[in-house]
Amino acid sequence: MTARHDTLPHVVILGGGFGGLYAARSLRKAPVRVTVVDRQNHHLFQPLLYQVATATLSPGEIASPIRGLLGRDTTVLLAEVTGVDVPGKRVLLADGELSYDSLIIATGATHSYFGHDEWAKHALGLKTIDDALHIRRKVLLAFEMAERETDPVRRRELLTFVIIGAGPTGVEMAGSLGEISRHTLARDFHNIDPSQARILLLEGVQRVLPVYSEPLSEKARQALVKLGVEVRTNTRVTHIDETGVFIGEERIAARTVIWAAGVAASPVARSLGVELDRAGRVKVAPELTLPGRSDVFVIGDLAHFIQDGNPIPGVAPAAIQQGKHAARNLLSHLEGKPMKPFRYWDRGTYAVIGRGKAVGVAFQRFESSGFSAWLAWLAVHLLFLIGFRSKLAVLLDWAYAFLAFKRSARLITGPLPELVRPEKAGEPLTAPRETASPARDAVLG
């Protein structure tokens, strides 16, 4: 005779990213009640978010509703988590609370501006679909505004794009912007030459992609330079405002600044009452549990886990493996069996730089670059995309972009910028202002 559903142990999972989603999936057939809590109603494939920001993919191709992915056996709540009362076994929500018997925390990470949170309104981060659409709008509007600008200085500012941080996200963004300006938009305008856009990639250490070997980093740098990207290493930003970026006394005038320099763990970690690392991540036990607790697991970008002397990377495969392992250990704990320590199997990491170009390492040993690395990157990302429809749509868009140098999602959504009309009748309109008017929405192809 099976137990009543409401008497089964209640497992709460915070976060519908890779870790939380795969933990929930692993518990679907288990004798537990599962509740997933997320402030968004969708699971997002973050590794391809930059392709939404640069108009290759549409949001629906890299995101799926969490309810649809988990089915009716799992309860899904749309709510904002503000903290966890570990002794009281309660999840604190912005509009209430939720009790649990076992808890898996996978709330991920957010942007870190290294103590300069005031920079956030001028340097756009890339963590959510809203972020990606904001960047896409900003980038495409810059070319539209430059087309109407008569002042060469202001036009130059509009066509200057600065990316801060040369990790995988920054490198991929810079390479994609290089392709947009040199290929996708090259023949679309009459008054400007998009290929003359200035794209700067700034990095505080001595080379791009510092997690890779020096030869791979150098190949990545060379590929970026071929796309017209100006790479500046050992360069530290000292100030960011609406006019651009400052490096000491040097000012780089730019109307579009993208932040890819750092991340910080979700603030939920601070409510747990345990030791955190410098990025605010929880120093978890080998079993992925909160130190001193066997009923609370922390996984994904929120977990600081050391393996062979090094922290495991904050990538999707690591979160997926942790989600599955946490689910297994949770069930072992409920059955009174010993839990097993986690071991990450690194299949490989890749960074794409442009059309047919990438660098990467497979199984921590085999380095590759160029077209072969790009094919491996493509295969890995298609493998982890959820749903046949998503895989097919992304594959078709990639094929279109590769063969035709086109991007199918070049839409500017949102209110039109306010146009500055001259006092004298008959004069041409000058460039749009930065302030937006809610009068109507624009959809520009």
Catalytic positions = 172
Distance CA 5, CA 2 (A): 9
Question: Contact 146/171 with Cβ under 8 angstroms?
Answer: no
Which pair of tokens denotes residue 198? 């200035």
DSSP H or E stretch at residue 440: strand 432-441
Distance between the two ends of the chain, CA-based, in angstroms?
A: 61
Which pair of tokens denotes residue 288? 């992925």
Distance CA 113, CA 137 (A): 22
What is the sign, positive or negative, of the torsion defined by CA atoms of 119, 120, 121, 122? Answer: positive
Within 46-118, where are the H helices? 49-53, 66-70
HSE (side-chain half, CA atoms, 13 Å) at 292: 7
Output b/e per residue, 272-301; b: 16+ Cβ within 10 A.
bebeeeebbbbebbebbbbeebbbbbbbbb
Using CA atoms, how far residue 282 sits from 266, 272, 301, in Å, is 10, 9, 9
Residues 6+ apart with CB under 8 A from 308: none
